[in-house]
Chains A and B, each alone.
Chain A
Amino acid sequence: MSTLAKAEKKPNPVKAPRHGKTLGKRVLENWQLYLLLVIPVVITIIYKYIPMYGIQIAFRDYKAGQGFFGSPWVGWKHFERFFTYRNFGRMIENTVKLSVYGLLWSFPVPIILALAINQIRFKRYKRVVQTVLYAPHFIAIMVVCGMIRVFLSPNGGLINILFNSANPVDFLTEPGAFRTIYIASGIWQDAGWGTIIYLATLSAVDPGLYEAAKIDGASMWQRIRVIDIPELIPMIVLQLIMAVSGIMSVGFEKVFLLQTELNKATSDVIAVYVYQQGIESHQYSLSTAVGLFNTVINVILLIVVNKIAKKAADVSFV
């Protein structure tokens, strides 16, 4: 956000005197542009800002008739209830483990893929590779979870036919298999898509650099190490900051669709609890409190990681 502010500060002081018009006149002149913004602003206030204001029900006992700020104030009651819930520890552990393991396994894959794709010299082949690698990103989570279910089914599922036909396993009832299933399918679906941002960064490399390196006799691996990787570092740090600040937000949809009674020991995460308490059990205030707890941890992580990155690599995001 700070880069944005900086970039936009400059033109105003320069342009205002040049036009030689008062602010009021310039506002009037642009009335049509403001008119365009009316609908987006109204929608954003109603569906984005009012809900933010409504977060205060985390500290109230929400009653439908009394609304966001008419319901009685109860302070930390809902947070205490959440912290003393018997599965609290398990949910925190599952959420953090699923995210951290997911990050460790998934994060490097698009970088490595992008470095490799960038070295493909046959334009046509490169395009085909990209088309194929992007494909899973466009498939609905529901379909991906359906595929996971049929592939892992003990009754003639692909994985069991291939590796275990003698004694088939129902993987979705195995708590020990849940994280692997979640993370591996995530890499399958989004690693290819994740290369775009790195490929775009690499396309900014001056082709002259590669030519010079080739004349100096640098191999493909040396070109990657000396030219490509340094070029990617700032983007990698940026992506890492964003990923770490989202540690507490695991993809709800996939966990929800892959959860079974028997794998809950590892699949029970905060996001599913927020949904169940809020939408299924109508515990509006409790659910909001848990959601807020999650958001606060994410914001703290964002600030901390941003500080570390600033010190370490002189890159910052906010």
Chain B
Amino acid sequence: MSDKTSDIVLVVLMAVIMLIIAYPLYYVIVASVSDPFDVQAGKTFLLPSQFTLEGYERVFSNDSLLNGFLNSVKYTVIGTLYSVITVYITAYPLSKKNLPGRKWISIFFIITMYFGGGLIPTYLVVKDTGLLNNMWALFLPGGVGMGNVIIVRNFFENNIPKDMIEAAQIDGADELTTFVRVVVPLSRSIMAVIVVFSMVAFWNDWFTAMIYLNDAQAPFPLVMRGIVIKTDQLATMTSGMTHLEATRIGELVKYASMIVAAAPMLIIYPFVQKYFEQGFMSGAVKG
């Protein structure tokens, strides 16, 4: 096969794979704005039928779902701040090659990547430290995100010019000032990656919230569970409607809530996509 033929085969093959990956998402988007009975009749493979935004209106006018959405926003913002700060203050000292004890401190943290107490011992510690029904139960039991620490530490070691740090210190800056004024601003690209990874983790989390928090504190995916998996929440939402109307609203809300949950993260990751390979490479070389 000549190179040109192989190129064409490759391009077509990749187009097919992209279609397989993207079509299920596209179908859900179309279904979320179409009449549910047309969806069930197979009339929405390509384009919406009887366009409607009622599904989205229902999602945002339902108290539980709206409350879940706002909780998720709150947890994602605070969780990401927590995560980025703890990762940075761990990674910076560990990037200093001549810090006495660095090896042992690294081992102390890295062990937690491979061993843990497991579900119940962790649950009992969370309970004993008074974090049940407390938002911080979503963040603290995760400790420090060591995968991210290794990525950031390697970035500090390899991508921050040594002379910039030395220049700052000749000017009389101490370690903390150098960290805040020189190192943090120079690491914006890797910070963007860590921010996105953390946002995704907190936005998508439901299990931690299910075991540690109460119903009023449930994040969006956990409320959604009562719509798309268990359907008890859905039953409450549609009580008093005729069977036909309940089915219609139920299907619309299912599709719309899935898009509401998925869309924010799908919109942000392409912005940092070009740094993924770099981040993974530095993480893999020195695990």
Contact = CB atoms under 8 A, between A and B. Distances in A.
Interface residues of A, number: 105
Interface of B: 1-3, 6-7, 10-11, 13-14, 17-18, 20-22, 24-25, 27-28, 31, 39-42, 86, 89-90, 92-93, 96-103, 105-110, 112, 115-126, 128-129, 140-144, 174-176, 179, 200, 203-204, 206-207, 211, 221-222, 224-225, 227-229, 254-255, 257-258, 261-262, 265-266, 269-270, 273, 276-278, 280-281, 284, 286-287
A165 B42 contact: yes
Q: Is the interface of B mostly helix, strand, loop or mixed?
A: helix
> Which 9 A-B residue pairings sit nearest by Cβ, starting from the closest?
A51-B117, A156-B40, A54-B121, A146-B228, A140-B204, A291-B118, A51-B121, A142-B221, A33-B93
B246 to A, nearest CB: 13
Contacts of A134: 269, 273, 276
B108 A55 contact: no
B143 to A, nearest CB: 5
B24 A3 contact: no
A4 B287 contact: yes
B175 A32 contact: yes
B120 A287 contact: yes
A125 B14 contact: yes
B125 A40 contact: no
Q: Is the interface of A mostly helix, strand, loop or mixed?
A: helix
A11 B97 CA distance: 7
Contact of A54 (B20, B42, B109, B125): B125
Given A40-B89, A138-B200, A197-B280, A3 B118 contact: no
Given A44-B108, A147-B258, A150-B255, A291 B228 contact: no
A174 interface: no
Interface stretch (A97-105, A273-281, A306-314): A273-281
12 contacts: A1-B110, A5-B103, A8-B103, A40-B143, A133-B17, A140-B221, A142-B228, A146-B228, A146-B257, A151-B24, A219-B6, A288-B119
A48 interface: yes
A30 B94 CA distance: 12
B107 A47 contact: no
Given A27-B101, A30-B96, A196-B280, 6 more contacts: A1-B107, A1-B110, A46-B140, A142-B221, A142-B224, A151-B24
Nearest to A129: B14
B265 A150 contact: no
A151 B254 CA distance: 12
Q: Which of B17, B116, B118 has the most CB of A within 10 A?
A: B118
A39 interface: yes
Interface of A: 1, 3-5, 7-9, 11-12, 15-16, 19, 23, 26-27, 30, 32-37, 39-41, 43-44, 46-55, 57, 62, 67-68, 113, 116-117, 119-122, 125, 127-136, 138-143, 145-147, 149-151, 155-156, 158, 161-162, 165, 188, 192, 196-197, 199-201, 203-204, 219-221, 235, 238, 252-253, 257, 274-275, 278-279, 284, 287-288, 291-292, 295, 317
Contacts of B107: 1, 5
B7 to A, nearest CB: 6
A155 to B, nearest CB: 7
A4 B286 contact: yes
Q: Which of B25, B92, B120 has the most CB of A within 10 A?
A: B120
A146 B251 CA distance: 11
Contact of A141 (B116, B125, B204): B204
B112 A44 contact: yes
Contacts of A50: 117, 121, 125
A146 B224 contact: yes
Contacts of B255: 150
